[in-house]
Structure 1
């Protein structure tokens, strides 16, 4: 029994590693570009070039499908829009020069958000994810819009972050994610999965800022750990990415997303 559990765990770790291919490529590029310079090619432009080639390679090798690329592109644009606004407001900055830098934001930054969507898409197919007791589409859409809008409006009005998080707990209190490593199906509360992914993204954010991917105002003089409060921001962004994927999956594979409004077949 223990041997089977160890085998199951090792396969789980291996699949998780495969799900993280795109994020790992970005981290490796951030690390290597910190110590390796190419004449006449600014670091941010090099990172963008690697991200584009990596995305092409993932689709070409069929590790990502064209449909998944569409989802990733949507989240890339969502992230880029957020970056332009936040940098303008001074929430963080990109201090290095680059050719592909607009409004103080290098275009490669959108790929960091896209890598989150890439992870979600990879995990969906590698672990055969099924969403149980998922909220109705209009509720999920409305909450996603409110979460994304709050990232912009809290600079001028009340920050509804904790109100929205409370609403998420109410909306998802019954929801679970079913996943399969080999043959046995496991269940995890949806909110727990959101929190775990957000925590690991926060860890990745600390590595990214240490490698100079961007800087927060309190990191201008010397690097320091990213504030714990950022976990809540990633928590909500993770939810947006999963909701986008879930709604697209609902259209193509409705059996993978079980909502209260889905009609179950009546027993004869």
Structure 2
């Protein structure tokens, strides 16, 4: 009976950590079949997601520090979206006033939702890590991965070399997470793969509801290429590196005892 209870508690915390991602995909789904009067769809999505973030903060579901991390990821994601749309990797065909160079501002929230999930699950499962490679190797690898998303359009794509480096750099790194009174461990690289796969599933849902379109989806929707799993795998790594370093910095701050 105890394993069932543990699984239920684990599932509950995972579900609560997914509130913002669920809000995004729920909004995309509903807005694709329900016409919102007097406002463009992309503009309405942005307003709704800003409202969700405000409510999550006011109700205590997210802390101020977590909101700051989400804003950081929104900027990082939006910069990547601007470049990718400019290069023709995908497009946002619908009109909207809150579009910048063809990119709706709500799109950054899709990257921020990954950060929201990581921050929430880190706090709820009281996560920690062992064997962390340190700030220099992790941040340099994260920067190289992010840069490769831009440079592979005009120089060779190094994603598979970078993927190999991920397994080398994080070979000894383990996630420690706690469910009630039990402590569990998981190789960090395995967590990267699992999260990347589930984001790929979510991406299929998002493109089905016209959140954006890849070039081969303009005529009719089809499954997103399996190669995108590797892209999300690498993006998750960037997210985990940034969140882990921010958590480490926060933990190392002297506590105010006054």
Normalised TM-score (structure 1): 0.93
Give the Å deviation of 1:254.
4.3
Q: Does 1:225 align with 2:223?
A: yes
* Alpha-carbon distance in 2 for matches of 1:134, 1:177: 10
Correspondences of 1:89-100 after superposition (within 5 Å): 89-100=87-98
Give the Å deviation of 1:51.
0.6
Count of aligned pairs:
253
* Alpha-carbon distance in 2 for matches of 1:46, 1:119: 23
Q: Secondary structure at the match of 2:177?
A: strand
Unaligned 5+ segments in structure 1 are 256-268
* Alpha-carbon distance in 1 for matches of 2:3, 2:248: 32
* Alpha-carbon distance in 2 for matches of 1:88, 1:78: 16
* Alpha-carbon distance in 2 for matches of 1:251, 1:31: 38
Give the Å deviation of 1:135.
1.1
* Alpha-carbon distance in 2 for matches of 1:27, 1:181: 27
Structure 2 partner of 1:206:
204
Q: Secondary structure at the match of 2:35?
A: coil
* Alpha-carbon distance in 1 for matches of 2:251, 2:181: 20
Aligned residue among 112, 135, 138 for 1:114: 112
Structure 1 partner of 2:185:
187
Normalised TM-score (structure 2): 0.97
Correspondences of 1:61-140 after superposition (within 5 Å): 61-140=59-138
CA deviation string 1:210-230 (max 9, x = no partner): 011000001010000000000
Aligned residue among 140, 147, 150 for 1:149: 147
Q: Secondary structure at the match of 2:211?
A: coil
Q: Secondary structure at the match of 1:156?
A: coil
* Alpha-carbon distance in 1 for matches of 2:217, 2:34: 23
* Alpha-carbon distance in 1 for matches of 2:139, 2:66: 19
Give the Å deviation of 1:62.
1.1
Structure 2 partner of 1:259:
none
* Alpha-carbon distance in 2 for matches of 1:31, 1:218: 21
* Alpha-carbon distance in 2 for matches of 1:22, 1:31: 14
Runs of 4+ in 1 over 6 A off after TM superposition: none
Give the Å deviation of 1:131.
0.9
Structure 2 partner of 1:265:
none
Structure 1 partner of 2:256:
none
* Alpha-carbon distance in 2 for matches of 1:171, 1:218: 35
CA deviation string 1:49-82 (max 9, x = no partner): 0110011111111111111111111111000000
Give the Å deviation of 1:40.
2.0
Q: What is the alpha-carbon root mean square deviation over aligned residues?
A: 1.0
* Alpha-carbon distance in 1 for matches of 2:252, 2:230: 30
